[in-house]
Amino acid sequence: MVPGRKKGKVVHTKDASLAVKKDRASLIPSDDREVEIVPEEEIELEEEEVVLESDAVVEEKGKDIVEQLTPKSSSTSVATYDPLTAYIQQIRRYPLLSPEEEHELAVKYQEHGDDSAAKKLITSNLRLVVKIAHEYSAAHHNLLDLIQEGNLGLIQAVRKFDPYKGVKLSTYSSWWIRAYILKYLLNNWRLVKIGTTQNQRKLFFNLHKQAEALKAKGIIPTTKALAESLDVSEKEVSEMQQRLGSTDLSLAAPVGDEDGKRTVQDILGSGDPTPEEEASREELRALIREKISEFVQTLHGRDLVIMRERILSDNPLTLKEIGDRYGITRERARQLEKRIYKKLRQYLEQELGDKVKIALGLEK
């Protein structure tokens, strides 16, 4: 017998595969089947030696099993909530539609205004929005913002979709999704919008691309070359290059002094004219008023009335009133007014030179 171990007996019964008799008072089954308890004197014992492990060994093995079954605790065991992952898992619940189902739902929405049909069309294409938004993820740090704008484009696409054109909704809606995402990027690229006109939007999206294309052809991408290739003015190209090459700066940002009392706003010019500039402008305005008075003395008849009672008056006559007074149409009165403006412009340029800026609403 091994030292440190106990000796026992093995008991064979009809209903138990194995039982160990430890203290001859009870039987312990080796599995879940029932064990028939019989008087001790009726049990035939086979003299077999059973080696039972000591309590210390059993306890040590039990610890190993517990460690294997217990999840290992660590600082990263607590799962963080990711809104993007949760959203993607949620939209996966909506099944994709077959072409026949898509056409049927689109017809229901277009002809009957079935909102439930529109909802199915939208939810079945939410994964398409995520895919397209990923294409622009490098331009914006928050992908969920792009997905949200793309979803608005998808809703607009469902509203405009015509199921009788023979085009899939996914193909048609991709244009709307991209349009809404691009518009969002353009409006949020800077705190101050930089794409307020059609040409500015063209430059925003194509300036860098066109410059690289010119470089590939061996052409230096000068302002003139870019303006000609994009069909815009050189001034617009220069302005967009400056805007894209600069960053936003707060007027309250401290500059210069270490104590931070001076800000960007303090060092910017106020834009107000200097006393010398104001005096020069006032002198020019007085000279223009004098020349206008001289010009009025050269007019006669209807031209004089139009000049005094419409162009120079604080309460000008309307073209209809002038027409009724002289029995002419409004269009003819407008032509007379335009002719007087032209004469005035020519007179002032002759008297004061080409550098005079006329502030009377004249055509340049």
Residues 83-139 pLDDT 10s: 989 999 999 999 999 999 999 999 999 998 899 999 999 999 999 999 999 998 887
Tell me which architecture the domain covering 285-352 has in CATH: Orthogonal Bundle (1.10)
* DSSP, residue by residue, 67-127: HHHSPPP-TT-SPPP-HHHHHHHHHTTSPPPPHHHHHHHHHHHHHH--HHHHHHHHHTTHH
Task: Give the per-residue pLDDT at 269.
Answer: 61
Pairing status of strand 6-11 against strand 19-21: antiparallel
Residue-averaged pLDDT of the chain: 76
Q: Which CATH number fits domain 90-188: 3.30.450.20, 1.20.120.1810, 1.20.58.1000, 2.40.160.40?
A: 1.20.120.1810
What residue spans define the domains of the chain?
6-65, 90-188, 198-245, 285-352
Task: Give CB contacts under 8 A, 24+ apart, made by 280-284.
Answer: 284/356
Task: Give the per-residue pLDDT at 93.
Answer: 93
pLDDT tens, 236-291?
Answer: 888 888 777 766 666 677 776 656 577 766 666 666 677 887 888 888 888 888 88
pTM listed for this prediction: 0.46
Measured CA to CA, the distance from residue 127 to residue 87 in angstroms comes to 10
Measured CA to CA, the distance from residue 304 to residue 314 in angstroms comes to 16
Looking at the predicted structure, is the pLDDT value of residue 181 above 60? yes
Whole-angstrom Cα Rg for the chain:
45
